[in-house]
């Protein structure tokens, strides 16, 4: 039987750059981390006390849904966001009321939104609204609506 070397995590200097794969090619290129002009924000309800796995799944649902909707409704914003490396920020809101208020404010500002409701197969009751995706959009526009929220 062969002995395995112990696992060594990769060392990445995230200050230098972030590596992305462009869909039009298999060539890797780097984008300096300081040049983000667009982002997506996902707001998650604090009152639900989601497990880390459930939280990750709900945030992923919001990100994918927002990206797909944005690609159709705001293609220029989507393309710019995608080319920059798809910056995403996860923030917290207190409860469902605050989530709905945020959705109205984002839509009034002309931003793409995606309200995520869980099916209830695991740890939440059916039809529990968990999070809200906003964007992608120019950072200045999205910050007008979400800039006051704390990070998750």
Q: Which uninterrupted H or E stretch holds 47?
A: none
Could you read off the pLDDT of 50-62 as tens digits, one per residue?
A: 999 999 999 999 9
Q: Is the pLDDT of residue 75 over 70?
A: yes
Burial of 69 per CB tally in 10 Å (0-12, 13-18, 19+): middle
87 neighbors 146 (Cβ within 8 angstroms): no
Q: Alpha-carbon torsion 118, 122, 125, 130, what sign?
A: negative
pTM for this prediction: 0.78
Could you read off the pLDDT of 1-43 as tens digits, one per residue?
A: 445 555 444 343 333 333 333 455 444 455 555 578 999 999 9
């Amino acid at each position: 039987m062969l002995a395995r070397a112990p696992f060594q995590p990769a060392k990445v200097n995230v200050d230098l750059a972030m590596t992305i794969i462009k869909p039009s090619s298999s060539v890797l290129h780097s984008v300096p981390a300081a040049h983000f002009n667009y982002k997506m924000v996902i707001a998650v309800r604090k009152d639900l006390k989601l497990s880390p796995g459930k939280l990750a799944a709900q945030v992923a649902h919001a990100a994918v849904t927002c990206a797909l909707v944005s690609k159709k409704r705001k293609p220029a914003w989507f393309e710019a966001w995608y080319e920059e490396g798809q910056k995403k920020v996860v923030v917290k809101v207190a409860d469902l009321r605050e989530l709905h208020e945020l959705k109205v404010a984002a839509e009034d500002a002309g931003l793409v939104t995606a309200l995520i409701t869980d099916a209830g197969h695991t740890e939440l009751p059916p039809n529990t609204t968990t999070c809200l995706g906003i964007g992608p959009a120019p950072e200045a526009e999205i910050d007008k609506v979400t800039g006051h929220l704390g990070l998750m």
